[in-house]
């Protein structure tokens, strides 16, 4: 299906059948990425006295029961309700349709190689800097999708406690906030350091005006940097976080 989108007086042609899935598929194989001492998602069949929900075990149908840490074991989207008691749910703030978005790729730097600041003590961690974003954020868009290098398949199953990920400096988040970004999507497990003393300061800075943060994406190398349209597909769950499937349509 070909759609024509009129945005800011310019017509864009988008093939809605060729969107690029930026999520990590959760097939409950035990191969999911994990973060903050979480366990991989699990699945088991429903079972009662005369029934088991597993055809492989003789059941009449499959009835799986799943358990997962949404924030720490796969692609997810969160609202401000993640960091306060506002009760704001993702379904309240995540658009149902397409939004404008920009995909950029950055190379994290060691904190001692930048003048950017962070709110808790750091040693020599890798960070995403204001400068690396500033020189690429050239379009007025609702969503910013950020891919970090190196970008390899291990992101789909990495133990981020054993291999810590980069995170944003305060200056980088402030720049994104000031640029008017409403939806921030990243291929790392958190925009903050895993343990920043419970402050989650980058989350708080972004959510002053931002609507959603999506984390633990996987952005294929074939996806070009640049402007496009984005849809964040989510289930209708009344939570501060939900599993999500961002779909990007480059133009």
* End-to-end Cα distance, the chain: 15
Q: What is the mean pLDDT of residues 36-58?
A: 95
Supply 80's token pair: 């401000």
73, 33 Cβ separation under 8 angstroms: yes
Domain coordinates in residue numbering, the chain:
2-32+70-250
What integer best gives the mean pLDDT of the chain?
96
SS3 243: strand
At 9 the pLDDT is 87
At 35 the pLDDT is 97
- Render pLDDT for 152-169 as a digit per residue (tens, 0 to 9): 999 999 999 999 999 999
Residue 116 to residues 22, 149, 172, Cα–Cα distance (Å): 29, 19, 8
Q: What is the mean pLDDT of residues 174-178?
A: 98
* Superfamily per CATH, domain 2-32+70-250: Putative cyclase (3.50.30.50)
In this prediction, residue 1 has a pLDDT band, given cuts at 50, 70 and 90, of: confident
Q: What is the mean pLDDT of residues 34-56?
A: 96
- Render pLDDT for 52-102 as a digit per residue (tens, 0 to 9): 999 999 999 999 999 999 999 999 999 999 999 999 999 999 999 999 999
For 20-33, give the DSSP string: EE-SPP--SSS---
Distance CA(99)–CA(94), nearest Å, equals 10
Closest CA to 90 of 247, 192, 235, 246: 235
- Render pLDDT for 194-210 as a digit per residue (tens, 0 to 9): 999 999 999 999 999 99
- Render pLDDT for 130-144 as a digit per residue (tens, 0 to 9): 999 999 998 899 999
In this prediction, residue 7 has a pLDDT band, given cuts at 50, 70 and 90, of: confident
Q: What is the mean pLDDT of residues 145-155?
A: 97
Specify the pTM: 0.96
Closest CA to 16 of 230, 233, 197, 223: 230
In this prediction, residue 109 has a pLDDT band, given cuts at 50, 70 and 90, of: very high
At 137 the pLDDT is 94
> Residue 193 above 90 pLDDT?
yes
At 56 the pLDDT is 96
> Residue 192 above 90 pLDDT?
yes
């Amino acid at each position: 299906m070909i759609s024509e989108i009129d945005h800011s007086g310019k017509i864009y042609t988008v093939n809605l059948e060729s969107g690029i899935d930026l999520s990590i598929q959760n097939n409950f194989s035990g191969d999911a990425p994990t973060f903050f001492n979480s366990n991989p998602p699990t699945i088991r069949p429903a079972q009662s006295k005369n029934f088991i929900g597993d055809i492989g075990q003789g059941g009449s149908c499959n009835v799986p029961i799943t358990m997962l840490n949404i924030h720490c074991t796969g692609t997810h989207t969160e609202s401000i309700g993640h960091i306060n008691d506002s009760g704001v749910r993702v379904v309240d703030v995540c658009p149902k349709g397409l939004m404008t978005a920009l995909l950029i790729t950055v190379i994290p730097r060691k904190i001692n190689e930048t003048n950017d600041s962070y709110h808790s003590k750091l040693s020599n961690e890798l960070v995403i800097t204001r400068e690396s974003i500033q020189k690429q954020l050239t379009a007025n868009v609702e969503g910013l999708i950020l891919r970090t290098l190196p970008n390899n398949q291990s992101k789909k199953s990495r133990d981020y406690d054993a291999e810590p990920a980069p995170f944003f400096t305060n200056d980088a988040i402030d720049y994104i906030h000031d640029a008017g970004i409403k939806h921030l999507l990243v291929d790392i497990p958190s925009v903050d350091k895993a343990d920043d003393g419970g402050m989650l300061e980058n989350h708080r800075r972004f959510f002053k005006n931002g609507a959603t943060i999506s984390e633990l994406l996987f952005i294929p190398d074939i996806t070009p940097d640049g402007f496009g349209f984005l849809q964040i597909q989510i289930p209708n769950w009344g939570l501060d976080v939900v599993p999500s499937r961002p779909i990007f349509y480059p133009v």
